[in-house]
Amino acid sequence: MRKSSQSQVAILLGFALATSGCQSQNAKQWWSSHHPAQASQESKEPLPPPQIEKKKANKKTKKSIFSKRKVDKAKHSNKTKSAAKATAYKERYDTEMATRQKTEGKADLQATPKKQKKSFRSAVNSWWNKQTPKKASPMVADLAAPSSKPAMPTRAEPAKNWWWDKDKADTGEFWRLKWWWGKEVFLPPGSDGLYVKGEQYYKEGSAKSLERARTLFEQAAKLGNKFAQGRLGEMYYLGNGVPQNDEIAASWFRMAAEQNLSSAQLMMGDLYLEGRGVPKDLRAAEGWYRLAAEQDNVDAIIRLGQFYENYSNERSDHLRAIDLYNRAIRLGAADGKYYLGHMYAHSDVLPRNYRKALQLYQEAGDAGFSDAWAEIGEMYLTGKGVHIDKAQAFHCFIKAAEAGSGKGAYDLAVMYEIGDWVKKDYKKALFWYRTAADYQYAYATFKLGEFYSLGLGVPVDYVIANYWYEIAAENDIIPAEVKLGDHYFIGRGYYRDPYQAWLHYCEAAKHRDPYAQFILSVMYMRGIGVPYSLEKAVYWYQLADKSSGSAVAKYRIGRMYQLGEGFEQNIEEAIRWYELSAKAGYAVAQNELGELYYKGTWVKRDYRKALVYFGKAAAQRFALAEYNMGMMYYNGWGVAENRHQALRWFEKAAKHHESEYAQFLMGEMYAEGLGVKKDRAQAYAWMSISADHRFENMQEELNKLLWGQPPTETARALALSKQYEAKYANRHLMEMEKY
């Protein structure tokens, strides 16, 4: 039996060597010389065991008695022969493997035999696997030739004496092979197969599936699969199934980009442009965009055009952007028409062409690019290239929003918020802002924060407001950073935390927000949340003072001192900041100072100073200051009483769409004949605008004005009311109530 077992070892090991893809002439000669009958046989059925082995087996069953010395001698002889054969097999295999790796390179896959019970055959397989290098398998390398396509690789025909499971092979799940005597061997896929299987798990989207997808992508990426490398970069960039990490994302994108994967090159351009995971470098961004564009990646072509349009003031670069947009259009990109139209409508370097922009917007909108309809709506709203038509603008915004445009939904919300053409409706404005936020329009999230912070259409809720501000800040909306700083500084929706406020103010100050810079100056000057530093206080103050928005910022700080928000209430400090702002020409600060001196609540009443500050603000057509000037002349405060002059100021305020109180007083003066000839039609027209603003008992007053009037006067009153409604109140009744 010992000799029979050794013979079977020789047969199995010899077959494994011959069918392993080893093509050396010496191995073939060795096999044919030792087993001529088996070498010539082409049948797939297992060979019958030699007759001599049967005879020895029969002798064994008879329990014949031989001398112990003879048996031990035979055992020793068989062990020596078996060890010699095993050594020969190993030397031949190592020589053959070294030759193949030099000529063909490392194989993609590794053969892993199926686990079996303890048996003679499993012992042979175990010995064979120990001799096989872990990083390569010549058998599988012959069968699984790598493919350059992202789909399943094109596989070669299976070798002779192997059986191929085509159903499993098409799924890319594994390689399934069978020995000719029926043993199954399951082999892991190559890099392409790993990637395809990873994609299947990735599309499922569950946490468990994403984890398995990541593992498969990493295995494929280590084998050099560029698509797996790009997908790993995407997962880390978005934090999809893994912790978000821009540095790791950049490293995977770079590996794929260096293998000319255009989508990865595009992402590298974005990372360098934004400074995420890599230092911000505009030239590097341009280089990566250019590499991706050379492969006709439409997104990269458009991104490169935007780069030249937005980051250069050179005429040549803007002309280059036009060429790139036209190239994208030739490749069938509807958004290329949109961006080309946007350039014709908004360029500060090249002459604008609104007619061509409108044509391109319409073509892009018809092709399904919804933002194009929002741009058309803005052209009708502002009268650029077309006559002003707010009804047409409104319907364009509706069309854009219903097609999924965040910009269209945002513009629609603005119309409802300010009451432009439609009736002012904060709830509808809130609905469309939320819709725009759902469409990933970043500034809409800031507006949602404002609505909850100010209580517009909803109860005031600083916690929800801060939630939306945080989302906006994550999308680089700088006013949201300022609001978060204010709420931490004051303690709205958060526990008061000057240090957290300082962090948000610093982020806004880096983007040249003058208000944040002034606040930082005060915080360093007073040591609030940060150590006292006169040097830093002066630095931030000087930086903010040079900004174009410094006057507004100074007013806001004065307001905080006046109300005691963030700082201890200090009227003297508030007046100082108001005066700095007023000196810079900010009308709101001038009017605020006028009201302080007019009311005499915080300071000694001084009508003359109030009149001076009201006059400065009214000279800038600030409606509230014009109304205040009218009140000063109407009552004779700080100046001789003059009803005619008061009427003139009230009329200015009323025609600036802001002061409903001025419109009401205009109506009263026409009704009573104060400073002007009595005119009930004019009185009715002005007071009807105020009625729309919900003054108490206004409708009753309007009815009294028309009692006993001839039909001609009533008709004139109604006509004037309609005219003033359209011209000065700037609102119409809705044509379509469903909107």
Find residue 175's DSSP bridge partners.
187
43-65 per-position pLDDT tens digit: 444 444 444 444 444 444 434 33
Helix or strand run (H / E) with residue 96: helix 68-104
Q: For the chain, which residues score pLDDT lower than 50?
A: 1-28, 30-31, 34, 37-77, 79, 104-121, 124, 127-128, 131-188, 730-739
- List own/partner pairs for 87-93 with CB under 8 A and 24 or more apart: 89/13, 89/17, 89/131, 90/131, 92/17, 92/24, 92/26, 92/27, 92/30, 93/17, 93/22, 93/131
Q: How many CA atoms lie within 13 A of 344 on its CB side?
A: 24
Superfamily of domain 191-295: Tetratricopeptide repeat domain (1.25.40.10)
Distance between CA 297 and CA 257 in Å, rounded? 13
Q: How far is CA 309 from the centre of its chain?
A: 21
Kindly state the tokens that stand for 163.
């059986």
pLDDT value of residue 89: 60
CA angle (637 as vertex; 636, 641 as ends), nearest 5: 10
The end-to-end CA distance of the chain, in Å, is 94
pLDDT value of residue 54: 40
Residue pair 525/517 in contact by the 8 Å Cβ criterion:
no
509-551 per-position pLDDT tens digit: 999 999 999 999 999 999 999 999 999 999 999 999 988 888 9
Distance between CA 632 and CA 109 in Å, rounded? 92
372-409 per-position pLDDT tens digit: 999 999 999 999 989 999 999 999 999 999 999 999 99
Residues of each domain in the chain carrying CATH 1.25.40.10 = 191-295
Residue pair 153/140 in contact by the 8 Å Cβ criterion:
no
The DSSP string of 642-674 is -HHHHHHHHHHHHHTT--HHHHHHHHHHHHHTS
User: Which residues lie closer than 8 Å to 593 by C-beta, 6 or more apart?
Assistant: 575, 578, 579, 582, 609, 613
Distance between CA 516 and CA 433 in Å, rounded? 26
The single-letter code of the amino acid at 596 is L
SS3 for 417? helix
pLDDT value of residue 486: 96
| pTM of the entire predicted model | 0.66
Among residues of the chain, what percentage have pLDDT more than 90?
55
